[in-house]
């Protein structure tokens, strides 16, 4: 009888231990590291497409580059007030329409592009210098040479700009006087 009791207890132990194994989560393979070189190459291509959109005064292309979220922002080089959201009178779209609409011709070039991709491969900061030679609607030639910082993130599988800042150094501003 004792042997039967030990056998039953052992069988119950084995059955109980085996039941828990079926509920364990399968081991997940570690997520592959982002391909930073491929991401930087894509972002570089996108940034040159942005420059081309300026040259063509193509607001539709700008619209494909930017996120249309209500909390995207621009710090423009000429006005202190922050531009917010895609739509609306103080929106990013209106800002581009006003800027491009004031120019008859545009020669927008970027150089010294530097791209920092976030560790997760889903965000990036892009910096560069602009040389924008333009002629305004009155026939006056002008040149703007701000330094620019752009923040991008992946949205629905596509890189979208969520912030832009065009500014001048204090030294540059003092030399403009």
- Evaluate if residue 2 carries a pLDDT over 60: no
The phi and psi torsions of 57 (rounded to 5 degrees) equal 50, 50
Provide the CB-side half-sphere exposure for 103 (13 A, CA). Answer: 22
Confidence at residue 77, expressed as pLDDT on a 0 to 100 scale: 80
Residue 6 has pLDDT above 50, yes or no: no
Q: Is residue 110 a contact partner of residue 44, using CB atoms and an 8 Å limit?
A: no
| CA gap 66, 117 in Å, rounded | 18
The least confident of 17-31, 80-94, 120-134, 161-175 is 17-31
- Please state the rounded mean pLDDT for residues 125-153: 96
pLDDT-derived band of residue 5, with 50, 70 and 90 as boundaries?
very low
Answer whether CATH 3.10.450.50 is correct for domain 36-176.
Answer: yes
What are the residue boundaries of the structural domains of the chain, listed by start? 36-176
pLDDT digits (tens, 9 = 90+) for 82-128: 999 999 999 999 999 999 999 999 999 999 999 999 999 999 999 99
């Amino acid at each position: 009888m004792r042997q039967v009791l030990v056998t039953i207890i052992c069988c119950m132990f084995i059955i109980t231990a085996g039941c828990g194994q079926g509920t364990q989560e399968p081991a997940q393979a570690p997520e592959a590291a982002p391909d930073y070189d491929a991401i930087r190459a894509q972002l570089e291509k996108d940034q040159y497409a942005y420059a081309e959109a300026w040259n063509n005064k193509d607001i539709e292309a700008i619209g494909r580059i930017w996120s249309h979220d209500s909390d995207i922002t621009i710090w423009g080089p000429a006005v202190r007030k922050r531009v917010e959201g895609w739509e609306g009178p103080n929106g990013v779209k209106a800002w581009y329409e006003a800027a491009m609409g004031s120019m008859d011709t545009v020669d927008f070039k970027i150089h010294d592009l530097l791209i920092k991709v976030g560790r997760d491969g889903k965000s990036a900061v892009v910096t560069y210098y602009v040389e924008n030679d333009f002629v305004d609607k009155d026939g006056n030639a002008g040149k703007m040479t701000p330094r620019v910082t752009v923040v991008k993130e992946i949205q629905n599988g596509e890189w979208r700009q969520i912030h832009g800042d065009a500014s001048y150094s204090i030294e540059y501003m003092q030399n403009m006087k």
